[in-house]
Amino acid sequence: MLKFIRNFVKGSASVLLFGFFYKHRDFVVHSASVGAILASALSAFYLRFEDVSVFWSDARFWKFLALGVPIKILALLIFRIDSSSWRRFAFNDFSLILMVCLFSQTLIFASLYLFGIPHSRAVVILDGLFTFGFLVSMRIIVRTLFEFKSRASFQAKTERLLVIGAGERAVAFTRQVATNPHLPYRIIGFLDDATTKQRSKILGFSILGPIEEVEGLCKKHKASAILIAIPSLRPDRLKQIVSLCLNARLPIKILPSLGDVVNHGFEFSQPRQARVEDLLGREPVQLEKEKTLEQLRGSVVAVTGAGGSIGSELCRQIASFSPAKLILFDQYENGLFYVDGELRKKFPSLHIQTLVGDMTDSHCVRRLFSQQAIQYVYHAAAHKHVPLMEANPHEAIRNNVRGTYVLAREAVRHGVRRFVMVSTDKAVNPKSVMGYTKRLAELVCQAFFGTGTGFVSVRFGNVLASNGSVVEIFRKQILSGGPVTVTHPDAIRYFMTIPEAVELILQAGSEGEEGQIYLLDMGEPVAIKTLAERMIQLADPSGVRNIQIQYSGLRPGEKLFEELIADGENMVPSKMKKVFVLRRKTISYPVLEEVLGFLDKIENTEISGDADGVVDGLRQLVAGIESGAKPSPELHSVNFKKRSLSNPSTQIQSSL
């Protein structure tokens, strides 16, 4: 009962005190400052003369008040010292108060001499010291009270954070936690590898040990979460630290870097959850954008597949280069709708035209190019899901090969400057319908070499967070409680982020040589099993949900290991950093026409219901092109080495 009464009285007093302060802040602050000025004069005279009678018997006291108080109030107004927040009192405020005191006491000295008022120099000096002390002390007391109130109010729901890193960002975050009642964290200590910082304290919190001891120290100090507060970490070091933290089986938070703030909208003081990207340890490749900016600014640019993951990011980055017009083209109207709305909101002055259409429809594509003076085409439209294309090979041929051919033909006919096709590592030594058709699409682009339109293909691996990517599939499975399905325990893949992939596409489009295939340095491959295990640990660190991994077996058309270079290809460095050129066989335009005729025969095979025959025909066709031999005497007699063309543009124009 006594405890209840004590808490009630304590809480009521706190509410009344802080409520009055909030409601009448200006009055309270100015009154406190005037009170501090008066108290300083009283203290200075009493300390100098050690007699209280001086207050009513000595005229010097009243003359000093009459002169000193207005000067000090004037100094406070000039330096606007009372406009700063007391609860966030810091070193800048400390130095500002010192300047106020020096300024006011100098004016007081000068005025006393100017008006010939008898005075004691000791009183003037003591008065300045007391003024400084009282003004600073009041603010420190108020800040301490607010911090105490904040800690008491949020103590019940705070997370006990063990902070990794003891640098400037960690210190700044700790200060914010101490002063902001809406940050529900309680710092319990720091970890840092710097030997000079061991056993020292920061803002009253101890540096408990090196980072490698995170698991044991979390248990010892009963941490409920871990915060990584070193935004400048290299990706490989971040991967190591996150891996160490996972052993503690606690939620992992990371203070955002400048890239997170710019690209993902985080605030510097807002910790984000650790992501799967943090576990890849891959150094993002920063590509030069000056030439891309020079080419795209003021140009008419078309993006096919604009509603997809890669296509929409292409649109976002191209829009930032201020083109004269950006044309969004796709058959997927839902994706187009959302990216169109996003771009119009973010770039209100940009001329955007959104067109729904089928790139395999010659009339539709011809209308697109004839009505728009398109200068650059970024071709990201394709069927990409391997198992689906195995079941629907005719659609893969129609969309990925014929669609690319129709676009390329019209681009040449209408004088497009540059045509950039998005390819895939599945076109390397292909084993799937999707891989065969994307390799043929690369050959289509290379067959248009020398036509006046610069054709370039860009090849890369899996893209994180793209539609249908393994990472997104794992995320959904984890959210639903599992199981997480992995095709094979030994399966490995290469990964890169969507913005990184798009930067490569844009730079290859601006700097790449005509007719070439470009490849980004993909770094080290990642085991899919390990990726799944880490994602489960990030989502369920304590293991309470008991999410399991199940092996489903490789699906039709899937490889165990993805490759970046095909048999017979040579990879040489390009003039672009960490971008390589792939040298391999190409085909001429007449051979391309024979290939398309051969595809007709392959597709006709399916009319009789022989889907396996379609896949087999594709395999023979690609193998025949790569080797220069006849793909299949039974289906079509084509010698892919026998014909060449000195002026391919003549042949193309005649075929149009």
pLDDT, tens only, 52-93: 777 777 777 788 878 888 888 888 888 777 666 666 666 677
556 occurs within a structural domain: no
**C-beta of residue 586 within 8 angstroms of C-beta of residue 515:** yes
Structure tokens given for 557:
């058309």
489 occurs within a structural domain: no
Q: How many CB atoms lie within 10 A of CB 291?
A: 14
433 occurs within a structural domain: yes
- Phi and psi for 227 in degrees, rounded to 5? -115, 120
Angle of helix 362-371 relative to helix 403-413, nearest 10 degrees, comes to: 30
**Domain match, 255 and 162 both:** yes
Nearest to 161 by CA among 233, 214, 103, 92: 214
**Domain match, 387 and 514 both:** yes
Q: What pLDDT does 258 receive?
A: 64
239 occurs within a structural domain: yes
**Domain match, 392 and 443 both:** yes
Question: SS3 of 65, please?
Answer: helix
**Domain match, 34 and 117 both:** yes
What whole-number distance in Å separates Cα of residue 342 and Cα of residue 336? 10
What total of structural domains would you count in the chain?
A: 4
Helix (H) or strand (E) holding 193: none
Instruction: State the number of CA atoms in the 13 A half-sphere of 513 facing the CB.
Output: 10
- Phi and psi for 59 in degrees, rounded to 5? -65, -25
What whole-number distance in Å separates Cα of residue 380 and Cα of residue 384? 10
pLDDT less than 50: residues of the chain: 1-5, 7-16, 18, 154, 630-656
Single out the residue in 129, 152, 175 at which a domain terminates: 152
**Domain match, 9 and 116 both:** yes
Nearest to 36 by CA among 124, 137, 105: 137
**Domain match, 603 and 569 both:** no
Q: How many CB atoms lie within 10 A of CB 410?
A: 22
**Domain match, 504 and 450 both:** yes
Q: Which are the contacts of 541, defined by CB distance < 8 A and separation ≥ 6?
A: 246, 248, 249, 250, 251, 252
Question: SS3 of 327, please?
Answer: strand
What whole-number distance in Å separates Cα of residue 627 and Cα of residue 62? 107
539 occurs within a structural domain: no
Single out the residue in 220, 240, 274 at which a domain terminates: 274
**Domain match, 245 and 330 both:** no
637 occurs within a structural domain: yes
312 occurs within a structural domain: yes
Single out the residue in 245, 274, 303 at which a domain terminates: 274
Give the position of tokens 């085991």: 527
What whole-number distance in Å separates Cα of residue 523 and Cα of residue 526? 9
- Which amino acid is present at 265? G
Q: What pLDDT does 253 receive?
A: 92
482 occurs within a structural domain: no
**C-beta of residue 174 within 8 angstroms of C-beta of residue 163:** yes
Q: Which are the contacts of 587, defined by CB distance < 8 A and separation ≥ 6?
A: 443, 446, 447, 595, 625, 640
Distance of CA 134 to the CA centre of its chain: 47
Question: Could you list the residue range(s) of the whole structural domain that residue 49 is in?
Answer: 2-152
Task: Tell me the β-bridge partners of 493.
Answer: 526
**Domain match, 164 and 305 both:** no
- Phi and psi for 348 in degrees, rounded to 5? -65, -25
Q: pLDDT tens digits for 353-383?
A: 999 999 999 999 999 999 888 999 999 999 9
Nearest to 466 by CA among 537, 400, 380: 380
Distance of CA 360 to the CA centre of its chain: 35
Structure tokens given for 258:
């400048």
**Domain match, 72 and 116 both:** yes
Residues 314, 319, 320: CA angle, nearest 5 degrees: 105
Nearest to 421 by CA among 354, 516, 496, 333: 516
Distance of CA 220 to the CA centre of its chain: 34
Q: pLDDT tens digits for 286-340?
A: 667 777 778 889 999 999 999 998 999 999 999 999 999 999 999 989 999 999 9
> What's the residue count for the chain?
656
**Domain match, 425 and 508 both:** yes
Q: What pLDDT does 399 receive?
A: 93
Residue 567 to residues 115, 150, 429, 458, 473, Cα–Cα distance (Å): 99, 66, 7, 18, 31
What whole-number distance in Å separates Cα of residue 34 and Cα of residue 69? 8
Nearest to 604 by CA among 630, 631, 636: 636
What whole-number distance in Å separates Cα of residue 34 and Cα of residue 315? 61
**C-beta of residue 445 within 8 angstroms of C-beta of residue 421:** yes
**Domain match, 6 and 132 both:** yes
pTM: 0.71
Nearest to 454 by CA among 503, 515, 508, 511: 515
What whole-number distance in Å separates Cα of residue 391 and Cα of residue 612? 9
What whole-number distance in Å separates Cα of residue 232 and Cα of residue 605? 58
Mean pLDDT computed over every residue of the chain: 80
Q: What's 415's domain CATH number?
A: 3.40.50.720
